[in-house]
Amino acid sequence: MRILHIIDDEKFIKFCKNTFDIFYVENYFLKSGEVSVNYLSDNSIDVIFVHYLKDKEVDFFYFNSILLPKIWMFWGADGFSLPLFYNKFLDGGSKEFLNKVKLSTSFTEYFKHKVKIHFNKLWNQSFATRKKLKVINQFNYIVPIVPGDFSLLSSSYKISSNFFHFNYVTDLQGDVSKNTEGNIFLGNSSSIFNNHLSILRKLNEAKLGSRKVYVPLSYGDQHYKKSLLDFIIDLKNPNIIPLASFIPFSEYTKIINSCDIMIMNHQRQQALGNIILGLINGCTIFMNESSTLYKFLLSENFLINTVGELDHMHVLSLQDRQHNSQIAKQVFGRERQLLAVDKLLSVFR
């Protein structure tokens, strides 16, 4: 079976290869915008996997009749960029902050932002939206990062594609440490969907002692990053340390290992890789209870706290942290994922 993977993110190609490392599969890889009708024919492709649906692939599948089986690996933002989700996953503080970010960027950006809010239904009827929805419904299967994302999408839009679920095979390295430096890890990127502000204000008022709060901001929205860095500087709290530049993965892991608390205030699925790393290394995880990822982890018997419990910030017992670590290795382990991938591919064999 020859599978074409359309994937841009370099760091995910390794995970993609591991996930589809099955004896009867030949994997081919193209970047977004590189696929053509001739390529599919010349290479006798059997199945197409699109890892994050970009506009270039929307155009390709809309303007070409591709009868091959197609699967969309739905990462989140590629589906939640549809109009009805605009501003939906932000808390009050982040919505107010977004207004300021857009205004500081340019009046044009601020105007577009307001139009998207106040003329949301009109935007939802645009050709671009209708085109994307038509392509989404061409996919035989949609595979979200967590099952709840498919429910969110199909509750707002008419989706005829089938649902299936598995996760990428990742490097499940690490173990629970009995001793950490007691630090705190907040968010995963310079994306406003982290809802940083409400948590930073709460942590700024907390008695942190010598504990550091690490805030990774090395990738994402640069305008938001600049505004958030200004906000952090204004707090004048030396315990809050933004990670503004890329650092080696080994150093990144070392920082997570120094933390016994990880806070992810996303209202939708995001930062799964960081959360898995945190669970394996024994972090006590605090998440927004409206997140589909939070609900998925609960359904898999993980012990997860909510951000509403941060007023009484506590760390799980060693036994509970070891429980989370062990389940993470089972739920996100290679064996479970490859069995699921094989089950999906058997439909097309």
Q: Per-domain residue ranges for the chain?
A: 2-83+122-169+335-345, 183-332
- Sheet with 213-216: strands ordered across: 240-243, 213-216, 183-186, 259-264, 284-287, 305-306
Q: Where are the beta strands (DSSP E) in 119-193?
A: 141-144, 162-163, 183-186
DSSP element (H, E) containing 320: helix 318-331
- Helix count (H) and strand count (E) of the chain? 16, 12
Strand partners, 241: 214
Which helix (H) or strand (E) element contains residue 133? helix 127-136
Q: How far apart are CA 305 and CA 303, in angstroms?
A: 7
DSSP 8-state secondary structure symbol assigned to residue 190? B
What three-state secondary structure class fits 304?
A: coil
Cα gap 318→180, rounded to integer Å? 12
Residue 60, CB-side half-sphere exposure with 13 Å CA sphere: 20
Q: Which fold has domain 2-83+122-169+335-345?
A: Rossmann fold (3.40.50)
Q: Are 169 and 15 in contact (CB under 8 A)?
A: yes
Answer whether 71's CB lies under 8 Å from 250's CB: no
> Cα–Cα distances in Å, from 158 out to 5, 70, 94, 135, 237?
26, 18, 29, 12, 47
CATH number for 183-332 (one of 3.40.50.300, 3.40.50.2000, 3.40.30.160, 3.30.1540.10): it is: 3.40.50.2000
H or E element that contains 51: strand 47-51
For residue 334, give Cα distances in angstroms to 122, 262, 324: 44, 24, 17
Q: Region of 297 please: left (phi>0), alpha (psi -120 to 50) or beta.
A: alpha
Transcribe 106-129 into DSSP letters.
-HHHHHHHHHHHHTHHHHHTSHHH
SS (H, E, C) 194-262: HCHHHHHHHHHHCCCCCCCEEEECCCECHHHHHHHHHHHHHHCCCCEEEECCCCCHHHHHHHHHCEEEE
Domain 2-83+122-169+335-345 shares a fold with domain 183-332: yes
**What is the full per-residue pLDDT of the chain (349 aa) written as tens digits?**
999 999 998 878 989 999 999 999 999 999 999 999 999 999 999 999 999 999 999 999 999 999 999 999 999 999 999 999 999 999 999 999 999 899 888 889 999 999 999 999 999 999 999 999 999 999 999 999 999 999 999 999 999 999 999 999 988 878 887 677 899 999 999 999 999 999 999 999 998 899 999 999 998 899 999 999 999 999 999 999 999 998 888 898 889 889 999 999 999 999 999 999 999 999 999 999 999 999 999 999 999 999 999 988 889 999 999 999 999 999 999 999 999 999 999 999 8
